[in-house]
Structure 1
Amino acid sequence: MARRSQTRNLQVLDTELSADAVEWCPVSQWHDVLVCGTYQLVKTPNGVDTHSPTPSRVGRLYLYQFRQEAPLTPPLTEIQQIDTPAVLDIKWCHVPVRERPLLGVATASGELQLWRLADTEESRYGLELVSSTELGMERLALSLDWSTGRGDSSEVRVVSSDSAGCVSVLSLGETSLDVLSQWKAHDFEAWISAFSYWDTQLLYSGGDDCKLKGWDLRMGTSCPTFTSKRHSMGVCSIQSNRHREHVLATGSYDEQVLLWDGRNLRQPLSETSLGGGVWRLKWHPSHEHLLLAACMHNDFHILHCQEALEGGGGACPVLASYILHNSLAYGADWSQLILKGSPPCPSHDGVERVGAIMQIGGHLRIQYESPTASFDTSLEDDTGRYIPENEVAPVTHAPESPPPISSSDTSNSLSCLVATCSFYDHMLHVWRWDWTLEESSNAVGEGRLSGADQSGEGQLKLSDRAGEAAEGEL
């Protein structure tokens, strides 16, 4: 027996401004609600003045509703647009607050905004601003996470990180966020911060100083409980596994995904090279071994982490890769909607590549700079020569063995709805991933999507990364 993996595009939308964050609502009654956040550095007639102390950064929130209707009807409907300061991160509270979903937004103005999902006169949803809390002067709020990952609503708190290298912990009051603690955690930008969902007195943070740090609020914040330098570049993604205690996933500009056991942070459980810089990681909402990765210069991938979580070590196999975006892969999230209908039949018209990690060829070198500055990227060969825009780096495919089937997984198939967004081409994609038990062992890993497999909206041309890298600034 083996699993056959297939991805299929459902819809593509233009967000006008550069898209960098996307989140499905995790509250049960509102699983059909999707929010996308955008970020744009406003250019002057002479280009972008990145040396200005207060460059103009604008953003927008898009609110969508997903409907499973007729096959020819686009499933995603835009409900609302809201102009805001540039958005760096968005996260829904995992539990309802006063019986409604609550959205947290980290902005380039250094604020954490709270938006409440409410009903409108048109019998639709709408976001209403509840409060805005400033983290400090002349800083960007870069990330946020809620303490409610396992559905605990007893004490709702938020952790946030910023461009000054600080981490802040805030409690949710009646109508606002109140700062409980703020401290200098990293030497440079603190790209990411996250709760341990199993013990919300424990926090993790990652920064441009290449350090992953742990903090125990019961012991104070003058000194971290641990500091890891295992990542060789800036740490920009962290998420606790809500279904498996002590398990943590981290991603970095060094293109590695590391899995950790929080009881022993000297050595990771697993190390997987994905290429491109791992900007976001999302554990599946109900399957503890599935991990979604947004890999900036190397698209979106779904990892099978079961063997690593059981102590087997080694890299995590890639079950599926979504490569229809034309630009930097930034935002990604799983929906908890149950998809109607059976999995689509496999397509034999297009090219389907079997079970492989897409890796950048050895002659390509990507140099990342701070997204709060110019976010320049250089593409060079081994001799330092620039790779022209019309020359695409070769892709190699590493063979994989079929991933093990969990003894607790009795279903013959798994169908998931995923939303992803990309930066310079300002695109939001909604796609379906089906993982089906089959007799043939040849079918494992057929998750790489080609334009020929798609319906009309999904037939996008893959672009070379060199042309896009010089265009925009985060």
Structure 2
Amino acid sequence: MGIIFISTANSSSSQRWLTSAAAAQPRYAEQVVMAWKSRTRSLQVFDTELSADTVEWCPVPSSHNILACGTYQLHKGAGEDDATPSRTGRLYLFEFQHDGLTSPPLTELQRIDTAAILDLKWCHVPVSGKALLGMAAATGELQLYSLLDTQEGSRSVQTLSSIEVGAGRLALSLDWSTGRMDSSDIRVVCSDSAGCVSVISLAEGNLTALSQWKAHDFEAWISAFSYWDVQQVYSGGDDCKLKGWDLRVDPSCPTFTSKKHSMGVCSIHSSPHREHILATGSYDEHVLLWDGRNMRQPLSESAMGGGVWRLKWHPTNQHLLLAACMHNDFHILNCQQVLEGGGGACPVAASYILHNSLAYGADWSQLSLDKPASCSPTAAEPKEIDTESRGHLRIQYESPTASFDTSLEDDAGGYIPECVAVAPTAPAAGNALDPEADSPSLSCLLASCSFYDHMLHVWRWDWTPDEAQQLC
């Protein structure tokens, strides 16, 4: 892969955040591959207290600095006679302001205790001048929130509308039909634990059910629109099937059924940049890229080393795909070769490895960042360690209270000093992004969350195609 540097620092006991600015030695992971430099750096970590499973940056231009995070907590029955579990959640709203290195960039604006949240998605376009947030809840409801300005000059969300997709079931996912910024005939597709898919319209702030059908034998983990033809809907279920549906005909008959995934299909995202291109992920630990005109065989199959719970295409760069890989961290795939007809697996352009639990929620921000961040002048010179004897690096969090500490350990439990480097390995052929085809540099802001350690991370990815550039 390349070279990885990691350093850590502790937060104060009264604060639940960690920033590279607050630390004497900033935490970051850095990779150098062939003719380009790629670095992921943690900016802040927030303890969500309940298990975090979904994060979404607002895509509406006036609110690109707004981040929503949803949590899901299962409470088992107190006794043997009480076998029915309860599920609670919390919706967080944050504002990102990266003014410098003296304060954490993420500010909590609001928290709302809710039913357990399975998925969050912002409508891609404003509705009546407002940004709208959809929530798939464990009560079987699709809930809609409106982002408002407060009298104090802040921002908050307020309940706008809700609709029940089915009693005694969990709403598992949702997607808006507005992926290509089309504000006409706004609809939402929602999947649930009974294996059903529902299509719901939005008009004058009200949600109205248009259709619902049985799509899968078990949980329908994911549903999504084709952003190029919103009469086309895709769904994936725990029955290991990926299906397509045409809303203009009888939904009891899918347009296709694929069994190319060997386990439950849990992520689908239509490309907003390339017509017919679809990305899917599964518990089988593979990402498949498809041409929607031929669903018999995928264009590409990439092994990720963990179940692929969420996939997100980059909002402006058509070649980049973000994957949340459950037991194997978060990765950014470079799909350029595949999308240009070259085939093969999509190489990993960058990885974020600082979570210590199931990688569930992940999203790109459209907020503009400054030029690629320079290395901190306080960073220590890295020392190489033997990867054969020390194993991979991992972060361990402990959060018995509102505060948390961080430490680095190897597989044997030994402490690894701050700011160490993993000896580089030979890069795989084709890993480099093409400087001619891509922008000369990228500075991306991202958010990710992990489940059992209830952590939200905000981080940046900097890429520079400079063969002569040296490590800081």
What TM-score does the superposition give when structure 2 sets the normalisation length? 0.81
Alpha carbons 2:66, 2:95 under 8 Å: kept: yes
Question: For 2:464, which of 405, 412, 436 is the aligned residue?
Answer: 436
Q: Give the Cα separation in 1 of the matches to 2:78 and 2:236.
A: 36
Partner of 1:37: 70
1:405 corresponds to 2:405: no
Partner of 1:91: 121
| Secondary structure in structure 2 of the residue aligned to 1:164 | coil
| Alpha-carbon RMSD | 2.5
Q: CA deviation at 1:74?
A: 0.2
Q: Give the Cα separation in 2 of the matches to 1:37 and 1:340.
A: 28
Alpha carbons 1:14, 1:428 under 8 Å: kept: yes
Question: For 2:360, which of 330, 334, 347 is the aligned residue?
Answer: 330
Distance 1:161 1:302, change over 3 A: same
Q: Give the Cα separation in 2 of the matches to 1:254 and 1:72.
A: 43
1:414 corresponds to 2:447: no
Over residues 189-235 of structure 1, what are the superposed CA-to-partner deviations in whole Å (9 max), with x where a residue is unaligned? 00000000000000000000000000011122020000000000000
1:212 corresponds to 2:251: no
Distance 1:48 1:309, change over 3 A: farther
Question: For 1:229, which of 239, 242, 259 is the aligned residue?
Answer: 259
Alpha carbons 2:371, 2:443 under 8 Å: kept: no
Instruction: Read off the aligned partner of 1:119 and give its amino acid letter.
Output: D
Fraction of identical pairs, as percent: 68
Distance 1:87 1:168, change over 3 A: same
Alpha carbons 1:290, 1:303 under 8 Å: kept: yes
Instruction: Read off the aligned partner of 1:212 and give its amino acid letter.
Output: L
Higher deviation after alignment, 342-351 or 12-21: 342-351
Report matched runs for 1:103-114 at 5 Å: 103-114=133-144
Report matched runs for 1:348-367 at 5 Å: 349-350=381-382
Partner of 2:294: 264
| Secondary structure in structure 1 of the residue aligned to 2:233 | strand
Partner of 2:154: 124
Q: Give the Cα separation in 2 of the matches to 1:406 and 1:242.
A: 22
Alpha carbons 2:372, 2:462 under 8 Å: kept: no
Q: CA deviation at 1:408?
A: 3.8
Partner of 2:279: 249
Q: CA deviation at 1:2?
A: 1.6
Q: CA deviation at 1:69?
A: 1.0
Over residues 240-279 of structure 1, what are the superposed CA-to-partner deviations in whole Å (9 max), with x where a residue is unaligned? 0000110000000000000000011111010000011000
| Secondary structure in structure 2 of the residue aligned to 1:123 | coil
Report matched runs for 1:56-455 at 5 Å: 56-345=86-375, 349-350=381-382, 399-401=427-429, 402-405=431-434, 407-409=436-438, 411-440=439-468
Distance 1:351 1:270, change over 3 A: farther
Distance 1:442 1:342, change over 3 A: closer
Q: Give the Cα separation in 1 of the matches to 2:103 and 2:384.
A: 26
Q: Give the Cα separation in 2 of the matches to 1:389 and 1:251.
A: 32
Alpha carbons 1:307, 1:404 under 8 Å: kept: no
Instruction: Read off the aligned partner of 2:173 and give its amino acid letter.
Output: S
Distance 1:38 1:47, change over 3 A: farther
Instruction: Read off the aligned partner of 1:297 and give its amino acid letter.
Output: H
Alpha carbons 1:161, 1:167 under 8 Å: kept: yes
| Secondary structure in structure 1 of the residue aligned to 2:248 | helix
Q: CA deviation at 1:340?
A: 2.2
| Secondary structure in structure 2 of the residue aligned to 1:29 | helix
Q: Give the Cα separation in 1 of the matches to 2:470 and 2:220.
A: 44
Unaligned runs of 5+ in 2: 1-33, 386-390, 393-410, 415-423
Partner of 2:418: none
1:13 corresponds to 2:46: yes
The count of aligned residue pairs is 404
Alpha carbons 1:187, 1:209 under 8 Å: kept: yes
Q: Give the Cα separation in 1 of the matches to 2:292 and 2:383.
A: 41
Q: CA deviation at 1:306?
A: 0.4
Instruction: Read off the aligned partner of 2:44 and give its amino acid letter.
Output: Q
| Secondary structure in structure 2 of the residue aligned to 1:249 | strand
Over residues 116-168 of structure 1, what are the superposed CA-to-partner deviations in whole Å (9 max), with x where a residue is unaligned? 00011111000000011000111000000000000000110000000000000
Alpha carbons 1:68, 1:340 under 8 Å: kept: no
Instruction: Read off the aligned partner of 2:234 and give its amino acid letter.
Output: Y
| Secondary structure in structure 1 of the residue aligned to 2:337 | helix
Alpha carbons 2:77, 2:86 under 8 Å: kept: no
Instruction: Read off the aligned partner of 2:51 and give its amino acid letter.
Output: S
Question: For 2:60, which of 9, 12, 27 is the aligned residue?
Answer: 27
Q: CA deviation at 1:400?
A: 1.3
| Secondary structure in structure 2 of the residue aligned to 1:218 | coil
Q: CA deviation at 1:440?
A: 3.9
Q: Give the Cα separation in 2 of the matches to 1:314 and 1:352.
A: 33
Report matched runs for 1:455-466 at 5 Å: none
Instruction: Read off the aligned partner of 1:251 and give its amino acid letter.
Output: G
Instruction: Read off the aligned partner of 1:247 and give its amino acid letter.
Output: I
Q: Give the Cα separation in 2 of the matches to 1:45 and 1:134.
A: 28
Instruction: Read off the aligned partner of 2:95 and give its amino acid letter.
Output: Q
Instruction: Read off the aligned partner of 1:127 and give its amino acid letter.
Output: V
| Secondary structure in structure 2 of the residue aligned to 1:275 | coil
Alpha carbons 1:160, 1:167 under 8 Å: kept: yes
Instruction: Read off the aligned partner of 1:112 and give its amino acid letter.
Output: L
Distance 1:262 1:125, change over 3 A: same
| Secondary structure in structure 2 of the residue aligned to 1:180 | strand
Q: Give the Cα separation in 1 of the matches to 2:294 and 2:380.
A: 47
Q: Give the Cα separation in 2 of the matches to 1:81 and 1:421.
A: 16
Q: Give the Cα separation in 2 of the matches to 1:418 and 1:200.
A: 27
Q: CA deviation at 1:47?
A: 9.2
Q: Give the Cα separation in 1 of the matches to 2:130 and 2:226.
A: 24
Q: Give the Cα separation in 1 of the matches to 2:331 and 2:311.
A: 10
Q: Give the Cα separation in 1 of the matches to 2:189 and 2:110.
A: 27
| Secondary structure in structure 2 of the residue aligned to 1:219 | coil
Unaligned runs of 5+ in 1: 354-358, 361-387, 444-452, 454-474
